[in-house]
Amino acid sequence: MMRAFLVMLGIVALLVLAALLTGFLRFDQTQSAQLPRLEGGQAPKFNADVADISVGTENKTVEVPQVRVQKPGQPAAQ
């Protein structure tokens, strides 16, 4: 059970890494973090730009060649 979880976690990590390297996913830090002095503090903020992918279908007519099989010893059919 634990091995399957670790494999899935590794696959997800590889997919995120591939998305970052190919430009499908980009993170920009918009606000820096600040450590608290006596009180307060500030967490960093990020914007995530994700690639826009559109998928569609279209109908096409494709000409398929005819295939004829001629067994040995039979005359060729025209």
**What's the rounded mean pLDDT across residues 1-10?**
91
Judged by DSSP in three states, 27 sits in strand
pLDDT digits (tens, 9 = 90+) for 37-46: 767 777 888 8
How much is the pLDDT for 78? 59
SS3 25: strand
For all residues of the chain together, what is the average pLDDT? 83
Strands 25-31, 45-50: pairing is antiparallel
pLDDT score recorded for residue 42: 79
pTM of the model: 0.40
**Domains of the chain: which residue ranges?**
2-31+43-49
Distance, in Å, from the CA atom of 66 to the CA atom of 25, rounded to the nearest integer, reads: 46
- Per the CB < 8 A criterion, the answer to whether 70 and 77 are in contact is yes
> Residue 24: what pLDDT?
80
Answer with the residue of higher pLDDT: 63 or 48: 63
Instruction: State CA 65 to chain mean position distance.
Output: 35
